[in-house]
Amino acid sequence: MWTKTRSLMLSRVLTVGAAAAALVLMFFIPRFAEWYEEISVGRGVIGGSIAAPLTVTLFFTTLLFLAVLAALHILLSNISRGSVFTDSNTRCLRFISWACMLAGAAFFVFGLWRFIFMAAGAMAVFFGLIMRVLKNVFAAAVELKQDNDYTI
Amino acid sequence: MAIIVNLDVMMAKRKISLGELAEQVGITQANLSILKTGKAKAVRFSTLEKLCEVLDCQPGDILEYRKEDS
């Protein structure tokens, strides 16, 4: 039967799986960038080769992705221990929000070479914004919980 | 905080221990300790009522307002 514990376990397994996949894919980033340069027909403000800037962007965003997965793992560990509305979890969500914003900024910069990547940047920033709102909700919940815990 | 909890004074007057009071009021010792040490943020009327009943006192005997120096 599907339980809360199993759902949490699945989330943790998926997080670790995503991290492993990202680590493996990192080795293929330079090759992918070269391949993308060959097939890419898009345009941007800056001309010339896109392999180097794409490699840098993908490495940077993959590192951020790994950091976000680590934060998610901490978050899930805390939740499975029963600590949901805590300052530690709020910090995790804040970190995830900023990481998404940074990834968005990186894609915006690469958008100077290929405009299409600005769409990816906008999506990442929007996701970061959602996470920020979630972080604010968590911060309010932490305060409410503390009030409740200290009401005798 | 400007609200002072004089629970320890009342407990000493009535010669009742923390464990006994907690049991009679129906709250945990940990919660009663939070209240006694002034760490509590709020007190339920039901808890205050029970405390007054057990300690045979008025709410004013347990809670006191003292102006804070700014």
pLDDT tens, residue by residue, A37-85: 889 887 888 888 889 999 999 999 999 999 999 999 999 999 999 888 9
Query: Is residue A137 classed as helix, strand or coil in its secondary structure?
Result: helix
In a domain, A40, yes or no: no
Instruction: Find the mean pLDDT for residues B14-19.
Output: 90
Helix pair A51-80, A29-39: axis angle to 10 deg:
130
Instruction: State chain A's mean pLDDT as an integer.
Output: 92
Nearest CA-CA distance, residue B27 and chain A, Å? 8
Asked if A147's CB is within 8 angstroms of B44's CB, the reply is no
Instruction: Find the mean pLDDT for residues A123-143.
Output: 95
Alpha helices in chain B (DSSP H): 7-14, 18-25, 29-36, 45-55, 59-62
For A50-59, give one letter per residue: b (16+ CB within 10 A) or e.
bbebbbebbe
Contact B64, B4 (CB under 8 A): yes
Instruction: Find the mean pLDDT for residues B21-38.
Output: 90
Nearest CA-CA distance, residue B30 and chain A, Å? 10
In a domain, A77, yes or no: yes
pLDDT band at B1 (very low <50, low <70, confident <90, very high): low
Cβ neighbours, 10 Å, residue A88: 12
Asked if B32's CB is within 8 angstroms of A150's CB, the reply is no
pLDDT band at A3 (very low <50, low <70, confident <90, very high): confident
Query: Is residue B1 classed as helix, strand or coil in its secondary structure?
Result: coil
- In chain B, residues with a C-beta closer than 8 Å to the C-beta of A147 are 41-42
Instruction: Find the mean pLDDT for residues B48-61.
Output: 92
Q: What pLDDT score was predicted for residue A109?
A: 94
Residue A93 has pLDDT above 80, yes or no: yes
Nearest CA-CA distance, residue A151 and chain B, Å? 5
φ, ψ for residue B3, nearest 5 deg: -90, 120
Instruction: For residues A25 and A29, give the distance between their C-alpha atoms in angstroms, rounded to a whole number.
Output: 7
Contact B63, B3 (CB under 8 A): yes
Instruction: For residues A55 and A60, give the distance between their C-alpha atoms in angstroms, rounded to a whole number.
Output: 8
- In percent, how much of chain A has pLDDT > 90? 72
Q: Which of B33, B41, B51, B63 to mutate to probe the A interface, most A CBs <10 Å? A: B41
Amino acid at B49: E
Topology (CATH) of B3-65: 434 Repressor (Amino-terminal Domain) (1.10.260)
Instruction: State chain B's mean pLDDT as an integer.
Output: 89
In a domain, A38, yes or no: no
Our count of domains for chain A comes to 1
A93's tokens: 């969500």
User: How high is the ipTM of this complex?
Assistant: 0.77
- In chain B, residues with a C-beta closer than 8 Å to the C-beta of A152 are 27, 31-32, 34-35, 40, 42-44, 47
A54's tokens: 């794409």
φ, ψ for residue A150, nearest 5 deg: -100, 20
Q: Report the predicted TM-score, pTM, of the whole model to 2 decimal places.
A: 0.79
Asked if B35's CB is within 8 angstroms of A151's CB, the reply is no
Asked if B39's CB is within 8 angstroms of A151's CB, the reply is no
| For A151, nearest residue in chain B (alpha carbons) | B42
What's the domain range around A101?
4-28+47-149
Instruction: For residues A73 and A87, give the distance between their C-alpha atoms in angstroms, rounded to a whole number.
Output: 16
Instruction: Find the mean pLDDT for residues B17-45.
Output: 90
Contact A107, A61 (CB under 8 A): yes
